[in-house]
Copies of this chain bind each other. A is one copy, B any other.
Amino acid sequence: MTARRPSLAVVGATGAIGGVMLRILSQHADVWGEVRLVASPRSAGRKLVVRGEESEVLALSEDVFDGIDVALFLVPDEVSARWAPIATSKGAVVIDDSAAFRLDDDVPLVVPEINPHAARLRPRGIVASPNCTTLSLIVAVGALHAEFGLRELIVSSYQAVSSAGRDGVTALREQLSLVAGTELGTHPGDVRRALGDGAPTSTGPFSPFAAPVALNVVPWAGTDAGDGWSSEELAIREECRKVLGLPELRTSATCVYVPVVAAHSMSVHARFENEVAVDRAHEILATAPGVVLFDSPASGDFPTPSDVVGTDPTWVGRVRRSMDDSRALEMFICGDNLRKGAALNVAQIAESVAAEITSV
């Protein structure tokens, strides 16, 4: 007897993360029975290919969740906040990629390499997936934590513009074409003159960034979270604490956009309870699930976004022990913000739920 394959709804199928999700579903084609593609009424009726077949996009409504076992939400916070409870009321398990439920006590926040069992206890029928910045580092850091006992994280991000959505990529593209005619920012104000101040209110092209992002870096991601912090910086702190089960983990993050299309990088200072050795850290990272160790810098082997984009794992390099602290490691970590940073982690959680359903 073959177990019934569970049915899946993909809400937000037409977005940037939705597009990556369809590719992942095509690669993992045998997991799901029916796959229903859902988006806003504006995108309804479009045809998308998944698992080699064309499928029409349905408008988001209560009815689309009828008979659905698992619903993936790849949509803005407010859409998840409104529609996820409707999906669960219809009996679906929701895997949500938005920030709407991540820090709720009765919603597990899951990274399958680290806390897979947390997905089984979901009193509201919702499982949340972390922010792309958290996901870009936590698989590697979690593997080291299991051995050395993590006490403190100080991280600086080099974030890709695609984590600000399609608008982020468009803004970089348009800004690069505008500055191409200048002397590439060698003189004061070149970039500013070409782009205005780059903010949404400027006369330049629309941009989701608070400053020009072409030939520039922008140390502000998300919204104002008080005391000088951005929402993305506090998300890393709170989500790392929750996923790792370390409510007192000391964490300071600085989030910075860089002119890279896809793949986040993080410079990480990690302090542990116990002494660390680079050789042992290398062994752990080389064998940890979901991690690629790429660390021979004198030979040019260190991860960069261009190596990592389109791949599933978290890549780690530049591992060294702090010269003044035998309990701390420095690392440079890269991960594709649209794959493990978003769609892949959601798909992994969904597959673990599917395995539960089919094993009942």
Contacts and interface: CB of A to CB of B under 8 A. Distances in A.
Interface of A: 152, 154, 156, 158, 162, 169, 172-173, 176-177, 180, 184-192, 197, 199, 210-212, 215-220, 224, 227-230, 237, 250-252, 254, 256, 258-262, 265, 267, 269, 278, 295, 297-298, 300, 302-307, 309-311, 317-325, 328, 330, 332
Residue among A261, A298, A302, A305 facing the most chain B CB atoms (10 A cut-off): A261
B306 A185 contact: yes
15 contacts: A152-B324, A154-B269, A185-B261, A187-B309, A191-B309, A216-B306, A219-B303, A219-B317, A229-B320, A250-B322, A250-B325, A252-B324, A254-B332, A258-B258, A259-B259
Given A169-B184, A188-B309, A251 B318 contact: no
B252 A328 contact: yes
Nearest to A228: B320
Contact of A211 (B189, B197, B215, B300): B300
Given A158-B256, A216-B305, A184 B173 contact: yes
A315 to B, nearest CB: 11
A112 B161 CA distance: 39
A49 to B, nearest CB: 17
10 closest Cβ pairs, A-B complex: A188-B310, A228-B320, A156-B267, A250-B324, A156-B156, A191-B306, A224-B298, A185-B261, A219-B332, A254-B267
A305 to B, nearest CB: 5
A217 B304 CA distance: 6
B219 A304 contact: yes
Residue among A186, A267, A307 facing the most chain B CB atoms (10 A cut-off): A267
Contact of A305 (B173, B185, B251, B295): B185
A185 B172 CA distance: 12
Given A217-B305, A306-B191, A197 B256 contact: no
Nearest to A234: B323
A230 B305 contact: no
